[in-house]
Amino acid sequence: MKFIDQISEKINEDIHIQALIKVILVLLVIFLVRSIDVVWMGLFRKAWRILRPFVLGFIIAYVIHPLIEMLEEKYKISRKITIPLFYLILLVVLFWLAFTIVPLIYSRLSSFITSMISGVNSIYNSYVNLSESGAPEWLRRLLQEIVASLQSTRSILPQLSTRFSSMLSDAVQVFTIFVITIIVSIYMCFSWKNIEAAIYNFAKRLGSRAIRNIKAVDVEIGTYVRSLLVLIVIKFLEYALMYYLVGHKDWLLVSLLTALGLIVPYIGPMIGNTVGILTALTMPQRNVIILLVCIVVLSQLDAYIIEPLVHSRNVKISPLWALFSIYAGGILAGGLGVMVAIPAYLAVRTIIRTNTTQV
């Protein structure tokens, strides 16, 4: 009974009627906006194509400028040294990933998908053998849809080599955007104080409340993004070591997927763990059991020890609002909206709290 009471208290803490009403009202607004997306989404896509290198460059500069300022103020290392050194290290790492990790992932992707298909079929067959009445029709159809999707994805891989010319033009475009982004971010790193001053000067014209909002959002988003990067690195190291020790053939790919899943809270890590378990079902039963135990232990370790140590209490997000933000971001802007959903929610929440406390 105590366990049930604890669950009830947790639900009442995170989900209450007022929050649900707010979510429903905001969802109605989003659906209204979505109904006229033919007009504004076209404008948004064109604006994004133009501004993409500048927005990405600003994000990179925003993330690394605290490190540059710390080295400059605390250790007296000039930014004329730290900025070129940082980008040199960044380029070396990116080229290493491009010429080693990416080909490795590509070579293992087909067998990785095959392992997922085998894992799904294994779970379905086990369920059928244990169930007296057999599997329901909806479950059989769902399984067929999943397997068909995975098989169609796997069938695309051999055709990639025949599409080399079109891929080459896309690669040139991506490389051009990448170069412009790096140049813009380097310029912004050197001129960050001027950019910051310009933003605050503009905010002064809007009033003192705008300045408070910008400062509060800066602290909140900066804390979240930098702590998220730290958690991604920690989670990658944790799960890479775990999958490697239990003998998972695709340990690198699964651990990378699990770590990057943190960008989408709750859903991303769950998908990563699910894929890891499905692709591990072809291993010996003893290894699968060890893997399941390790995933449970690491999940609890991350949730109750590592994440509270890295994340500030101020950036704690209710599961209800996190899922709502991800869903709303996906509806409004697709994959990009999903990635920026949590920072956008934190910015809105910070502005509301700042103005509420100031009243």
Label residues 13-24 b or e (16+ Cβ within 10 Å = b).
Answer: eeeeeeeeeebe
Question: Is 50:177 a contact under the CB 8 Å cutoff?
Answer: no
d(CA 54, CA 48): 10
Residues 148-195: tens digit of each pLDDT = 887 777 776 666 555 555 556 677 788 888 899 999 999 999 999 899
User: In this predicted structure, what is the pLDDT of residue 6?
Assistant: 54
d(CA 155, CA 136): 29
Question: Is 312:223 a contact under the CB 8 Å cutoff?
Answer: yes
The half-sphere exposure of 137 on its side-chain side, counting CA atoms within 13 A, is 0
User: In this predicted structure, what is the pLDDT of residue 165?
Assistant: 54
Average pLDDT over residues 344-349: 89
| Range with top average pLDDT, 115-129, 300-314, 335-349 | 335-349
Q: What is the DSSP letter of 160?
A: G
User: In this predicted structure, what is the pLDDT of residue 294?
Assistant: 92
Tell me which of 169 and 118 has the higher pLDDT: 118
Type of residue found at 39? V
Q: Give the confidence band of 103 by pLDDT, cuts at 50, 70, 90.
A: confident
User: In this predicted structure, what is the pLDDT of residue 88?
Assistant: 92
User: In this predicted structure, what is the pLDDT of residue 264?
Assistant: 86
For tokens 């001027």, the residue is 194
Tell me which of 78 and 3 has the higher pLDDT: 78
Handedness of CA 65, 66, 67, 70 (dihedral sign): positive
User: In this predicted structure, what is the pLDDT of residue 359?
Assistant: 43
Instruction: Say whether pLDDT at 29 is over 80.
Output: no
Task: Please name the residues in contact with 86: beta carbons below 8 A apart, sequence gap of 6 or more.
Answer: 64, 67, 68
For every residue of 32-57, DSSP letters joined together read HHHHTHHHHHHHHHHHHHHHHHHHHH
Task: Please name the residues in contact with 15: beta carbons below 8 A apart, sequence gap of 6 or more.
Answer: 318, 319, 320
Helix (H, G, I), strand (E, B) or coil at 209: helix
Question: Where does the chain have alpha helices with state H?
Answer: 2-14, 17-35, 37-74, 79-96, 102-130, 137-156, 164-190, 192-206, 208-245, 251-260, 267-280, 285-301, 307-310, 319-358
Q: What percent of the chain has pLDDT over 90?
A: 13
Average pLDDT over residues 302-324: 78
Tell me which of 149 and 89 has the higher pLDDT: 89
pTM for the full predicted model:
0.74
d(CA 112, CA 250): 7
Residues 214-257: tens digit of each pLDDT = 888 888 888 888 888 889 999 999 999 999 999 988 888 889 88
Task: Please name the residues in contact with 6: beta carbons below 8 A apart, sequence gap of 6 or more.
Answer: none
Residues 249-291: tens digit of each pLDDT = 888 888 988 998 998 888 888 888 988 888 888 888 899 889 9
Give residue 352's region: left, alpha or beta (phi > 0; psi -120 to 50): alpha
Tell me which of 313 and 331 has the higher pLDDT: 331
Mean pLDDT of the chain, nearest integer: 80
d(CA 182, CA 172): 15
Q: Give the confidence band of 340 by pLDDT, cuts at 50, 70, 90.
A: confident
User: In this predicted structure, what is the pLDDT of residue 246?
Assistant: 92
Question: Is 278:115 a contact under the CB 8 Å cutoff?
Answer: yes
Tell me phi and psi for residue 281, to 5 degrees: -70, -15
Q: Give the confidence band of 358 by pLDDT, cuts at 50, 70, 90.
A: low
Q: Which of 196, 223, 226 is nearest to 211 (CA)?
A: 196
User: In this predicted structure, what is the pLDDT of residue 4?
Assistant: 52
User: In this predicted structure, what is the pLDDT of residue 181?
Assistant: 92
User: In this predicted structure, what is the pLDDT of residue 308?
Assistant: 80
Residue 293 to residues 119, 274, 298, 300: CA-CA distances in angstroms? 18, 14, 9, 11
Task: Please name the residues in contact with 127: beta carbons below 8 A apart, sequence gap of 6 or more.
Answer: 135, 139
Type of residue found at 29? V
Residues 46-75: tens digit of each pLDDT = 888 888 899 989 988 998 888 888 888 888
User: In this predicted structure, what is the pLDDT of residue 33?
Assistant: 65
